[in-house]
């Protein structure tokens, strides 16, 4: 598998507060990469920073985002504009507010085509609009509808149709189905996965609902306090999550498939950017916290062949590998 | 259409409230200023004029209030607003119909210009937030805090007295006869410059600030972020995505504050002795001409309500959510 | 609190001080005539004199009180009315809401100035307090509209629902759960009303429907206008009062920006 998007040591600041710390992630061709975490974990901030959609006062002090050999962070606004939606499209929480309420969905799809495919004629664009709607299973006469005339699920499908308009390499889905009921949620995600197989794009799937990721993604990265704390194939996360936070997250959602298990939440609440705990940010809520956890942040290190974990519980962090700090157990 | 029907019903209620207030005020407030005026005019009032003043101001105390109310509506529907004391013996309705076009021309046009100009500037100021345009805010705040009439006085003192560039008063040059001639129209335009600019300058700031704040709020909406992610041009995002949504509350605000703005604009007419309703009202105040003052109030209210209805139509065209498919 | 808000509060404090001590520190009586007829600003008369030799500086100082009193009285009265109507409408909903909203919209749409001019000129003696009361009656509607919308959104929040579910009395919920959350909106409505009232009072004085026996900045402008100060080039007669009005208005607007930015963080300045 070849990488299509490589995020290297990316950090994001809001004013003087660091929201994302040196995150490195790779998205491979045709893959679904899941990004999980509670609100405030930095998962959406990471995605917006990587696609240069971050609003002030957010900014990126360091890092690279490589797409086809170019660093997205150093492109000019003009170069970036050509690349946007052509290569990287985003499906937002469309059920809520991602569609412009005062222009028709057809026009909003047409906007994309008119900007990026200036050679297309008006009837060609209209035909493409109809084609896209039928691709996601919406009656084509809905092209002239306004967002308020569509149900939440339909709006989300429109967002997906719009994202696929230019056949991008990468589709980023940010909480795409949060406001929908469970049945519609799964219908839409299932459809998205089938479209991925036929059209062959890669997906970054951001959600707080880890059970959806287990079901629909190939690989999962779990974020906490602006850092990736565990990354592994979805099946391995589901079978045996290593990080106590991953375990907590898994146990707070019911799994649709597989054996039933006890539902437990994670005690406490996600840390505030303004008062991030010292050491591992999760240690105040961690059931297995040790003294060292409150003092130093463990690095994200490989565990086995296909997993990376940032936790003092993992042997690779053993005190012997730590060269510049006193053991504190 | 239900939207427009509801609005129209509301305007009818408002009109009814304004007329009823007009009916009740002279009856509730102490003193009989109109009676005093009639006594002063003595035999110069003919019996018809006397009768309509009695109906309009409730001087016939033998009748019940309900009978008076019915008579009052009857007079209004006949277009009988009584005689003006200031322009005696011209009927109030005639005075109003002569001055209304001047007000519509001056106040109507400048209010629309101020709204469009202020909204456009607000769109840019909100979009370019954090740029040099932010430094305009204190200036516009100061301008919007100046009473219209005082700015008019300053304008006269600078551009008519110190540097006599433009006429300070009137609607057209003395000696001209109103007609469709180039000379007359030119004179009208020349006389409209100072009062017009005064109205625009003192009302534009409010629209800039309101629109800027709405733009700032709307720019944080998801659909604007989506538009940026789509790689659309800045122009397209700014107008079709941000401004199209930000302008909607601005239009409702426009409609609701028209009554206030028109009040300020009437004062500009007073200062410039412009032959519109404001100046007529001013003359009426001096002469305690109640029939005229009440007539001006009714006509202005009616004009504001019609303008409101037009603003509603504009809103309807811009916001699909208010349109209901039949 | 940012610089703009502090500047606004500073100017407001200055005018409040003048309103209190103005009539004591004024060098002349505001109506006292002298032999210096229509003289430009000088050491003896900082803002010059009128056609009857009255000291304009003293008139401005003494007139501040009338302006501030009307602003304060109207602010309090109209804010009270707007809370009464707006919060009740927003909290009760249904038919009561329809009726009260309609009432406030009617008051909003009807042009206030000509109506007040009629009322004021029909009153036998239109003194400061009476005018303040009349202005208040027309000034509450905007605040009521804003408060209604805010209350409606608050009503659906959890803590209010919880209070309702626990059988708390309506007026207790309004006073203890709803009002504390409306403080910013009420404050900004108060300041807006004060601006409106001050402008209206000065306007009414300028057109001459308010009793001229008490001084305010509008009265000064009335005398300036009726004595053709403009035609005689006596700019000092109308410039000081107008600048004071604009300064006071700006100060109040700046305070309101501060409140808005506090209530709506999106409007805050972008930090570098």
Q: Tell which residue, C173, C172, C145, C171, has the closest CA to residue C157.
A: C173
Residues 49-68 of A with CB under 8 A from C: 56-57
Q: Where does the pLDDT of residue A122 fall: very low under 50, low under 70, confident under 90, or very high at 90 and above?
A: very high
Domain that holds residue B177: 93-322
Q: What is the mean pLDDT of chain B?
A: 85
pTM of the model: 0.83
- Residue C260: name the closest of C198, C153, C187 by CA: C187
pLDDT value for A329: 37
A118 in contact with chain B, both atoms CB, cutoff 8 A: no
pLDDT of residue A221: 92
C91-124: pLDDT as tens digits:
888 888 889 988 988 888 888 888 888 888 887 7
The tens digit of pLDDT for each residue in B147-204 reads 888 899 889 888 988 888 888 888 888 878 778 888 888 888 989 999 999 999 888 8
User: What are the residues whose beta carbons fall under 8 Å from the beta carbon of B263, sequence distance 6 or more?
Assistant: C111, C112, C113, C114, C203
Is-contact A189 A212, C-beta < 8 A?
yes
Contact A84/B230, CB-based, under 8 Å?
A: yes
Q: What percent of chain C has pLDDT over 90?
A: 13
Burial (Cβ within 10 Å: 0-12, 13-18, ≥19) of residue B130: exposed
- Tokens 């157990």 correspond to what residue? A329
Domain boundaries, chain C: 65-271
- How high is the pLDDT of residue C75? 92
Highest mean pLDDT among A247-251, A312-316, B257-261, C12-16: C12-16
In a domain, B193, yes or no: yes
pLDDT reported for residue A320: 42
Does C4 contact B157 at a Cβ distance shorter than 8 Å? Answer: no
Residue A327 confidence class, pLDDT cut points 50, 70, 90: very low
| B252 inside domain | yes
Q: Is B231 on the interface with A (CB under 8 A)?
A: yes
Q: Which residue of B has its CA nearest to C122?
A: B29
Is B38 domain-assigned? Answer: yes
Q: Is residue A260 predicted with pLDDT exceeding 80?
A: no
- What is the C-alpha to C-alpha distance for residues B125 and B216, in angstroms, rounded to an integer? 9
ipTM here: 0.85
Instruction: Find all residues with CB under 8 Å of B271, minimum gap 6, and list them.
Output: B149, B152, B153, B156, B195, C225
CA nearest to B82, candidates B302, B309, B294, B326: B294
Q: Which two tokens stand for residue B132?
A: 């040099």
| Residues 6+ away with beta carbon under 8 Å from C272 | none
Q: Say whether the peptide bond before residue B112 is cis (omega within 30 degrees of 0).
A: no
Q: Is the same domain home to B55 and B192? A: no
Mutate to test the interface with C, among B11, B92, B153 (most CBs of C within 10 A): B153
Closest chain C residue to A15 measured between Cα atoms? C271
A321 falls in which pLDDT band (50, 70, 90)?
very low
B188 plus B305 within the same structural domain: yes
The pLDDT value given to residue B114? 92
pLDDT tens, C113-152? 888 888 888 877 767 788 888 889 888 988 898 889 888 8
Segments making up each domain of chain A, as ranges = 3-87+168-317, 101-160
The answer to whether residue B206 scores a pLDDT higher than 80 is yes
Q: What is the pLDDT of residues B245-303, one digit of tens each?
A: 999 888 888 887 888 888 888 889 988 999 999 999 988 888 888 889 889 999 999 99
Domain count, chain B: 2
Residue A100 has pLDDT above 70, yes or no: yes
C2 to each of B128, B215, C6, C261, how far by Cα in Å?
A: 21, 22, 6, 10
Tell if the CB–CB gap between A15 and C271 is shorter than 8 Å.
yes
Domain match, B117 and B257 both: yes
Hey, of B21, B222, B260, B289, which one would you mutate to test binding to chain C, going by the most C CBs within 10 A of its CB?
A: B260
Shortest distance, CA A238 to any CA of chain C (angstroms): 35
Q: Which token pair is C145?
A: 């509209």
The verdict on B257 and B298 lying in the same domain is: yes
CATH number for the domain spanning B259: value is 1.10.3720.10
DSSP state of A57: T
Mean pLDDT over residues A95-113, rounded? 88
Q: What is the DSSP letter of B58?
A: T
Give the pLDDT score at B243: 93
CATH 3.90.230.10 fits C65-271, yes or no: no
Interface test with B, best of C122, C137, C216 (most B CBs within 10 A): C122
What is the pLDDT, as a whole number, of residue A319?
44
Per-residue pLDDT, C271 = 40
Q: What residue in C sits closest to A55 (Cα-Cα)?
A: C270
Neighbours of chain A (3+ CB pairs under 8 A): B, C
Average pLDDT over residues C24-51: 81
Q: Do B230 and A99 touch (CB under 8 A)?
A: no
B324, pLDDT greater than 70: no
- What is the average pLDDT score of chain C? 85
Q: What is the pLDDT of residues A10-39, one digit of tens each?
A: 999 888 888 888 899 999 998 999 998 888
Give the closest of C207, C238, C245 to B270, CB-based. Answer: C207
Question: At a CB cut-off of 8 Å and minimum separation 6, what does A130 contact?
Answer: A140, A143
Within 231-270 of C, beta carbons closer than 8 Å to A belong to 270
Is residue B18 assigned to a domain? no
CATH of domain A3-87+168-317: 3.40.50.300
Q: Is residue B201 part of a domain?
A: yes
């Amino acid at each position: 598998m070849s990488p299509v998007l490589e995020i290297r040591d990316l950090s994001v600041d809001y004013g003087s507060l660091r929201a994302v710390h040196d995150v490195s992630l790779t998205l491979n061709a045709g893959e679904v990469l899941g990004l999980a975490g509670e609100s405030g974990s930095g998962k959406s901030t990471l995605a917006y920073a990587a696609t240069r959609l971050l609003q002030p006062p957010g900014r990126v002090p360091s890092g690279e985002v490589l797409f086809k050999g170019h660093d997205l962070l150093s492109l000019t606004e003009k170069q970036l504009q050509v690349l946007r939606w052509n290569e990287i499209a985003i499906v937002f929480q469309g059920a809520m507010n991602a569609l412009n309420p005062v222009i028709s969905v057809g026009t909003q799809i047409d906007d994309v085509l008119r900007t990026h495919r200036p050679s297309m004629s008006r009837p060609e664009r209209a035909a493409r609009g109809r084609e896209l709607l039928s691709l996601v299973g919406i009656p084509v006469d809905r092209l002239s509808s306004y967002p308020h005339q569509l149900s939440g699920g339909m709006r989300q499908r429109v967002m997906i149709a719009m994202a696929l308009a230019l056949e991008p390499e990468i589709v980023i889905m940010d909480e795409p189905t949060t406001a929908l009921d469970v049945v519609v949620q799964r219908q839409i995600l299932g459809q998205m996965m089938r479209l991925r197989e036929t059209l062959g794009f890669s997906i970054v799937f951001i959600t707080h609902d880890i059970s959806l990721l287990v079901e629909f993604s190939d690989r999962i990265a779990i974020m906490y306090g602006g850092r990736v704390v565990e990354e592994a194939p979805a099946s391995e996360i589901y079978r045996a999550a290593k990080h106590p936070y991953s375990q907590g997250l898994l146990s707070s959602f019911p799994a649709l498939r597989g054996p039933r298990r006890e539902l437990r939440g994670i005690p406490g609440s996600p840390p505030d950017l303004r008062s991030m705990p010292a050491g591992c940010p999760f240690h105040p809520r961690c059931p297995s916290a040790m003294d060292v956890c409150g003092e130093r942040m463990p690095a994200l290190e490989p565990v086995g062949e296909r997993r990376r974990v940032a936790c003092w519980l993992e042997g690779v962090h053993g005190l012997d590998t730590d060269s510049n700090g006193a053991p504190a157990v | 259409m239900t939207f427009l029907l509801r609005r129209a019903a509301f305007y009818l209620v408002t009109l009814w409230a304004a007329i009823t207030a007009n009916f009740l005020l002279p009856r509730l407030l102490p003193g009989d200023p109109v009676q005093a005026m009639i006594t002063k005019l003595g035999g110069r009032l003919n019996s018809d004029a006397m009768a309509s003043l009695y109906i309009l101001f409730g001087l016939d105390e033998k009748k019940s209030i309900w009978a008076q109310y019915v008579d009052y509506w009857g007079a209004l529907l006949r277009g009988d607003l009584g005689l003006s004391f200031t322009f005696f013996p011209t009927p109030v309705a005639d005075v109003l119909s002569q001055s209304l076009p001047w007000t519509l021309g001056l106040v109507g046009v400048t209010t629309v210009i101020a709204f469009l100009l202020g909204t456009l500037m607000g769109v840019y100021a909100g979009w370019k937030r954090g740029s040099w345009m932010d430094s305009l805010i204190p200036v516009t705040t100061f301008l919007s805090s100046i009473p219209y009439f005082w700015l008019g006085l300053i304008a006269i003192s600078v551009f008519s007295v110190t540097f006599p560039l433009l006429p300070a008063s009137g609607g057209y040059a003395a000696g001209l006869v109103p007609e469709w001639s180039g000379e007359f129209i030119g004179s009208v335009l020349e006389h409209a410059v100072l009062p017009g600019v005064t109205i625009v300058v003192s009302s534009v700031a409010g629209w800039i600030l309101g629109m800027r704040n709405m733009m700032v709020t709307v720019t944080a909406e998801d659909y604007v972020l989506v538009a940026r992610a789509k790689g659309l041009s800045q122009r397209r995002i700014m107008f079709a995505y941000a401004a199209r949504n930000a302008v909607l509350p601005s239009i409702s605000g426009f409609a609701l504050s028209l009554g206030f703005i028109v009040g300020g604009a009437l004062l500009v007419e007073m200062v410039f002795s412009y032959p519109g309703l404001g100046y007529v009202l001013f003359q009426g105040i001096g002469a305690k001409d109640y029939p005229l003052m009440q007539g001006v109030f009714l006509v202005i209210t009616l004009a504001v309500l019609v303008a409101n209805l037009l603003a509603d139509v504009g809103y309807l065209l811009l916001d699909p959510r208010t349109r209901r498919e039949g | 609190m940012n610089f703009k808000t502090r500047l606004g509060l500073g100017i407001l404090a200055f005018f409040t001080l003048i309103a209190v001590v103005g009539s004591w520190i004024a060098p002349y009586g505001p109506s006292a005539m002298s032999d210096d007829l229509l003289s430009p600003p000088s050491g003896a008369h900082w803002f010059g004199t009128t056609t009857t030799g009255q000291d304009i500086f003293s008139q401005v100082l003494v007139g501040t009180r009338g302006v501030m009193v009307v602003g304060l009285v109207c602010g309090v009265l109209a804010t009270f009315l707007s809370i009464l109507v707006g919060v009740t409408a927003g909290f009760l909903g249904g038919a009561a809401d329809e009726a009260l909203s309609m009432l406030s919209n009617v008051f909003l749409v009807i042009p206030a100035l000509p109506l007040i001019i009629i009322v004021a000129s029909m009153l036998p003696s239109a003194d400061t307090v009476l005018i303040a009361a009349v202005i208040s009656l027309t000034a509450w509607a905007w605040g009521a509209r804003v408060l209604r919308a805010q209350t409606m959104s608050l009503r659906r929040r959890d803590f209010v629902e919880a209070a309702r579910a626990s059988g708390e009395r309506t007026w207790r919920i309004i006073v203890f759960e709803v009002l504390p959350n409306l403080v910013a909106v009420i404050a900004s409505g108060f300041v807006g009303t004060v601006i409106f009232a001050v402008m209206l009072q000065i306007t009414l004085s300028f057109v001459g429907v308010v009793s001229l026996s008490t001084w305010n900045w509008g009265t000064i402008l009335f005398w300036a206008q009726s004595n053709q100060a403009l035609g005689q080039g006596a700019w000092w007669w109308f410039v000081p009062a107008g600048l004071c009005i604009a300064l006071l208005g700006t100060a109040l607007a700046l305070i309101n920006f501060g409140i808005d930015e506090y209530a709506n963080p999106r409007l805050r300045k972008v930090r570098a």
